[in-house]
Structure 1
Amino acid sequence: MGPQGRRRYWTVLAVVGATAVGTGLLGLLAGNTWLLTGDIVLWLTSEGSPVVRFALDERAPRVAAALAAGAALALSGSLVQATCRNPLAEPGILGITGGAGLAAVVVVTGGNATMIAAATGGVLAAFGLVYSVAWRGGLHTDRLVLVGVGVWYAATALTTYLLVRSNPWDTPKIYTWLSGTTYGRSWTQVVPVVLALLVALAARRELDLLAIDEDTPRIVPVAVLLGAVLLGLAGTVGRTVVAPAQLPAGLAVALIGAPYIVYLLARSRA
């Protein structure tokens, strides 16, 4: 990368980073009760009215969870796209999303509440299955994708079957979780995601072995920040547009992201 390209890269990174910070600030201020930046300062110093403290105690972990989850989704998407040599690939294509959802549904229908741990186990199990079946003296990307799609649909079918047979009182909780809500998130759930992100970003240069081109490893930090911005905005929109009711962040990000995907496809045809 020449001096001009390096300068452009750092400029884009700085702009996107500032946008991510602004998105986090907006998430803290917006909601059923709109706050001021001074309220955040008072909250950080353990002062302010009880209403402000209650609002920010509830919002701060949710905003952090949305930013961290968006960054993690963008990073995983970059890794999957580099591995599959497909710019439209995403984690679901390897069966990871389906495995997480199936494990969470199994836990809920079984009466246990540890959905996050179960989903993590489902991710690892799904990826292990896909990888082991796809391996034939080496890892071919086409075979990996085909096996992953098969596992994805199988997990989705089993999830639907369990939902149909589950206790109706559990169904709303399951659908809410599957839709990608940030409601009720806590700092103990945010910290592991942030740590995993830091570890993955530290090893991003390993993408040189997988990348479609030499630029892919360098745009990874930008993709991570853009993912944080997108899901952070989705979480804020979901908490404000229908307040006091709430729209799960996963549904809101679909409403925001789908038109952008259509725009990219239209532009690529042009």
Structure 2
Amino acid sequence: MTSQERGALALSGTLVQAVTRNPLAEPGILGVSGGGALGAVLLVTTAPMAGSWGIAGAAFAGAGVAAVVVFGLAARGGFGQNRLVLVGIGVQAATTALIGLLIVITDPFNATKGLTWLSGSTYGRTLTDTLPVAGALAVGLVIAVLRRTELDLVSLDEDTPRLLGLRTAPARFGLLAVSVVLSATAVAAAGTIGFVGLVAPHAARALVGRRHTRVIPVAVPLGAVLVCVADLIGRTVIAPAQLGAGLMTAVIGTPYFLYLLVRTRR
């Protein structure tokens, strides 16, 4: 896995945290990661001979369906932060339950392949596999930079953007759509890798402040560094075997998440 997937997850997390104004939010909170994982596991367990591009296509399709469900249910509230988060958590829980069901009822060999994909393995990824993510990241960066002022406004409160003439619902929808595309392409390329979208934006804001004109160019490379470190540890800690990058980012990210939770409560 190259830096494109890592950067895409970091940028997606930056957008989600700004729109929801939730410091504990990450791309998975929209249910997109779960939808992508469900699509990939469904194909792996029913068509074990499917190639990497087929699995990536199934993951992207699953992420798209999950995004349509979440956006459809959250649209009535103008994509308000509370409704959006609650709907996203519900969809994520549903996809997790369905994945568990598929793992239980399928052939053990296929289940192992599905679990390997869920761990966020970077094994066997080539430059060709990363081209869709590179394209999505390039477009996402351009949009995020051009709409950096909107990001700053929607991350403040409900009233300030309206007083300044910003239509909050369309602004939220556009930014969330970019986040969904980034997260879906990253999941399709490398499986589910958690906590990158949570940790990288926080670290960037700690370094350069809350203005997104500075946060965005810092968060993307920080996300790349985080997964590089996780991938390196996963490849060496039990060599010659290896642990999935998704597992290692969870090991690194979970203590940081608990720290953020305690600090937020204070």
Aligned to 2:130: 190
Matched, 1:244 2:255: no
The number of residue pairs the alignment matches comes to: 206
Q: Which among 37, 50, 55 is matched to residue 101 of structure 1?
A: 37
State whether residues 69 and 231 of structure 1, in contact with CA within 8 Å, keep that contact through their aligned partners in structure 2. Answer: no
Mapped to 1, the partners of 2:82 and 2:264 lie a distance apart of: 23
Note if contact 2:24-2:257 (Cα within 8 Å) is conserved in structure 1: no
SS at match of 1:151: helix
Tell whether the 8 Å contact from 2:151 to 2:212 is kept in structure 1 after alignment. Answer: no
Question: Please, what is the CA RMSD of the aligned residues?
Answer: 1.8
Post-superposition Cα deviations, 1:4-48, rounded to whole Å, max 9, x if no partner, equal xxxxxxxxxxxxxxxxxxxxxxxxxxxxxxxxxxxxxxxxxxxxx
| d(CA) in 1 for partners of 2:9, 2:138 | 14
Q: Is the 8 A contact 2:17 2:23 kept in 1?
A: yes
Normalised TM-score (structure 2): 0.72
Q: Assess if the C-alpha contact under 8 Å between 2:24 and 2:260 holds in 1.
A: no
Asked if residue 76 in structure 1 is aligned to residue 17 in structure 2, the reply is no
1:131-187, Cα deviation, whole Å (9 max, x unpaired): 011111732221111111111111111111111111111111111110111011111
Measure how far apart 1:203 and its partner are: 1.3
Could you tell me which residue of structure 2 aligns to residue 134 of structure 1?
74
Cα distance, 1:265 vs structure 2 = 4.6
Q: 1:235 aligns with which of 231, 241, 259?
A: 231
Change (3 A) 1:264 1:142: closer
Cα distance between partner residues in 2 of 1:228 and 1:81: 18
Distance 1:79 1:137 in 2: 19
Q: By how many angstroms is 1:269 displaced? A: 6.5
Q: Which moved more, 1:192-201 or 1:213-222?
A: 213-222
Take 1:245 and 1:77, find their aligned partners in 2: how far apart are those partners? 30
Q: Which amino acid aligns with 2:115?
A: Y
Amino acid paired to 2:23:
P
Partner of 1:218: 214
Alignment of 1:113-128 (within 5 A): 113=51, 114-128=54-68
Q: Residue by residue, what CA displacement relative to the aligned partner does 1:221-240 show, whole Å, maximum 9, x if unpaired?
A: 11111100000111111111
Output the amino acid matched with 2:84: L
Bigger RCO of structures 1 and 2 (CA < 8 A, at least 6 apart): 2
**Aligned to 1:86, which of 8, 22, 25?**
22
1:130–1:207 distance in 2 versus 1, CA, 3 Å: farther
Q: Which residue of 1 aligns with 2:120?
A: 180
Measure, in 2, the Cα distance between the counterparts of 1:155 and 1:265: 25
Q: 2:39 touches 2:62 (CA, 8 Å); kept in 1?
A: yes
Work out which of the residue numbers 128, 136, 140 in structure 2 matches 1:200.
140
Which residues of structure 2 form unaligned runs of 5+?
157-209
Alpha-carbon distance between aligned partners in 1 of 2:214 and 2:122, rounded to the nearest angstrom: 30
- Residue ranges of structure 1 left out of the alignment (5+ in a row): 1-61
Task: Deviation per CA, 1:93-113: give whole Å up to 9, x if none.
Answer: 111111011111111122134
Q: Is the 8 A contact 1:82 1:207 kept in 2?
A: no
1:195 to partner: Cα distance: 1.8
> Is this contact kept in 2: 1:79–1:207, CA < 8 A?
no
Q: Deviation of residue 247 (structure 1)? A: 0.8
Cα distance in 2 between the residues matched to 1:225 and 1:86: 22
- Partners of 1:217 and 1:127 lie apart in 2 by 27
The offset of 1:127, in angstroms, is: 0.6
Contact 2:235 2:241 in 1 (8 A): yes
Q: Match for residue 17 of structure 1?
A: none
Larger radius of gyration: 1
Structure-2 change in CA distance of 1:188 and 1:265 (3 Å): same
Encode CA deviations 1:202-224: one digit per residue, 9 max, x unaligned: 11131422332561342011111
* Aligned residue in 1 for 2:150: 209
Conserved 8 A contact 2:34-2:96: yes
